[in-house]
Structure 1
Amino acid sequence: MSGQLSGSMGAHRKGIIILTYVLAALELTCLFMQFSFLPYLSRTLGLDSVNFGYLQTIFGTLQLLGGPVFGRFADQYGARAALSLSFVAASALYLLLAASCSPALPGVFLLFASRLPSALMHTLTAAQMVITDLTAPAERPAALGRLGLCFGVGMIFGSLLGGTLSTTYGIQCPAIVAFVVTFLGAILSFTCIPVTTKDTSVQSAHQGGSDAGVFDLKAITRLLLLPRVFPVFLVKVISGLPAGLFLVMFSIISMDFFQLEAAEAGYLMSFIGILQMVIQGLVIGRLSTRFPEEVLLQSSVLVYAVVGLGMALMSNVLHFCLLVPSLVFSLCTLNVVTDSMLTKAVSASDTGTMLGLSASVHPLTRTVGPTLGGLMYRSYGVSIFGHVQLMVNLLVLLVLWRKPLSQKKDKVR
């Protein structure tokens, strides 16, 4: 009888995890649909490149500020509330985007207003929280890595759908489709995801042991400064920043340095998306069962350094294509392993807040990237990204070799 009950619970958990993957793929598809048609919508509304940069900076800043708060909200109110809130925010964003296409409404105002809900759009963070809560620590890297399949699906199909729908049916069509899909996602989240995915004992201890609110910055900072958290977080930020700056500037580099047409740049992005699906969804899970997480972290930093050397020497797009598999491996491994290590470094009641902090790294790069990356590219050319990546990651690797993270472990209080 107990075996049947255990099997039923296991099947229920598996069903929730599969639904979470589906919801994440739907949201990411809509997100990349937005990325594909937003520049054309901005041009239609009369925005120049400077104002479009302001639009992107607002999006990154709001995501950066909203990430930790959203994670804390997820810890306090549960997975269902977090996923539902994220999808409702996404629905509001796409509804405002669709409205901005109407000639009878103030399009530019609505376009900038559509950035405001992005502070609460963190479906991937909520999905990571659900998977973290429902998987054992040993299974966590592989389970989190499979979200890379969702990311790849979103990148490929979202980019294709955004361009096809806007060309065939008008610039407003992708926004309307994204609104319908995300609204459906909100309904599925509210009706099919449990109120909380944490163990009952963990949830009770969290509710009884802390009166801190969602916006309690002191509680968020306390987690970040834990001895097992801060070094890993620092490695995640510093090691990935140079590659992040390069990727932020990639659209400009592909036009100016690689001399690619828009279609050719799209093919290259699809190639990167497919590689990310394979590496993060299939390769990292197998590696995590054979090697300790710290070894994988050091390997990603080492490969980052080698790729940096190649980027400093590359002179055409063929050279870059040869470097892409190693670049994607480093990017995916660093993200998955650090997320797994960070969630293990805090109590089960704080995993959402920790994932929210971790998710803020990418918006940070998108916020400072256009300005910093633009200055670097204009002053020193493409090779500067490779030189900086090489030097930064060699320094990080030296620090990890001299002071392994395993020596800094302590019990989570």
Structure 2
Amino acid sequence: MTQADAAGNVSVSTGVTAPDITAPPAPVAMLDASGSVVMGTGEPGATLTVRDAFGTPLGTAIVTAQGDYSVTLATPQIEPQTLSVSQADAAGNPSPATTLTAPDLTAPAAPLATVAGDGRTLTGTGEAGATVTVRDPLGRVVGQAVVAGDGTYTVPLDPAQTNGEVLGVDQRDAAGNGSPIVTAIAPDLVADTTPDAPSAAVDPDGAAVAGAANASAAIIVYDAVGTIIGTGVAGPDGSYRVALVPGRIDGETVRVTQTDADGDVSPPATAVAPDLTAPAAPTAMLDLTGSVVTGTGEPGATITIRSADTTSLGTAIVGANGAYAVTLTPAQTDGQTLAATQADAAGNVSTPIVLVAPDYTAPPCPSSRSHRTAARRRGSASRVRP
């Protein structure tokens, strides 16, 4: 801006900065599968804020010079909540909000369940729209039904359960989240002539199951869903050992029954195989800010991110849906090589998956000494005559 007097003399120019009253656009936003991290792109330098449906801030971040951001939420959002994400520039102009819906990772409560007096149906209450599943003592499905809008359900049982069986009942919502298992006792309408359940334990190497039963009883071993995986006969002293082919070494549940000479079958005994099997490597992705690693793994496993010198940069537990998010401390923005592993509850560790961090770190300035050395070399070369 300049001014000129009546004689036409013009002043020195003075700069003027216009006010910033233009709001930035709505940011691009995505919520990771664990419901823990919002990431995306925005206006460099803007402040990004994530709010719940009531407008309460859940987390903030500054958009990087590359236009990326990552916000770790104070409380993971796992019950299909509605979130809003907005950014405000340095002048305080707020953008329109981007709307996100959180994943449904919350399991329903255990259903209520009662077996009818004739053993043909099981009734109770649960979460509307959930699927109720009933399993017999060997883990075989004997009935399913969908919970009605009023929260009630009726499951026909096939075959009817009339011998005092202990049934397992659970419900799974539309998102696939499973409730705890409750038990329901079937009526006992059959004369009690069955033998007791045998004892059972899987060998430490998972190669066989052994225990005690009635002398000469027929032994049948089942897997968790009721498939026969081994048979044998108890000795005169009642002891038995049944080989498992292949061996069970991944924490599997096995069930064992005994059958007497009259064909009466006992309730099953339950045994758990050793867990000697490492989980597969997790999937892993480092976000563009170098702050958060997200991916999938074995539910309940512990994810660890390590630097090249094996220093731990962060850990997280894989959720029931197989997703996780690890916030790194410090952020990795210099092209570092990272390794992600998962360890199951038994301590078995997977092979690592390698990640490479983004490189946003400028190299150091060259020293003046280096400039002088280079100049002397050029000067010496120019004085050399052919």
Structure 1 length normalisation: TM-score?
Answer: 0.22
* Higher Cα Rg, which structure: 2
Select the structure that is richer in strand: 2
The higher-RCO structure (CA 8 Å, 6+ apart) is: 1
TM-score by length of 2: 0.23
- Whichever structure has more helix as a proportion of its residues is 1
